[in-house]
Amino acid sequence: MTLLAIDWATVGIKAAQLILSLSILVVLHEFGHYITARLFKCRVEKFYLFFDPWFSLVKKKVGDTEYGIGWVPLGGYVKISGMIDESMDKAQMAEPPKPYEFRSKPAWQRLIIMLAGIIVNILLGFLSIP
């Protein structure tokens, strides 16, 4: 009987607000990785909101980077050339590092690229304090 008392329109609006606010947070976090990778002249292959197994809802290639929106709303990612990740591109890793690859950069630059997303989140937290 309590299911009938739930205002499903309000639940839907609240769910949409949650997904939108988390999406903004994810995009800003991933932008931290993206902007520092580009600053240190790494090639960024993909910049995605949400995950895109099998297909993307929207995608557009600009230069070397494919920007897109996946269909699984659980985060996002930035794929940087030469970074060992879940794709495990073994063919690319067997070759010597190219100057635009993550693995060819000095350790301090790789560290900054990896920490940049977290730093953006911390800065956002400080900026949102009233």
In a domain, residue 64? The reply is yes
Residues of the domain holding 15 = 10-127
In a domain, residue 1? The reply is no
What pLDDT is attached to residue 1? 52
In a domain, residue 2? The reply is no
pTM of the model: 0.85
Catalytic residue among 30, 45, 66, 86: 30
CB 50 within 8 A of CB 76: yes
In a domain, residue 4? The reply is no
Cα Rg of the chain, angstroms: 18
Query: Is 86 an active-site residue?
Result: no
Q: How many structural domains are present in the chain?
A: 1
In a domain, residue 61? The reply is yes
Token couple for 74: 């659980």
Q: pLDDT of the chain along its 130 residues, tens only?
A: 566 788 888 999 999 999 899 999 999 999 999 999 999 999 999 999 998 889 899 999 999 999 999 998 888 999 998 887 655 667 767 778 889 999 999 999 999 999 999 999 999 999 888 7
CA pair distance 80, 67, nearest whole angstrom: 13
In a domain, residue 34? The reply is yes
CB 33 within 8 A of CB 117: yes
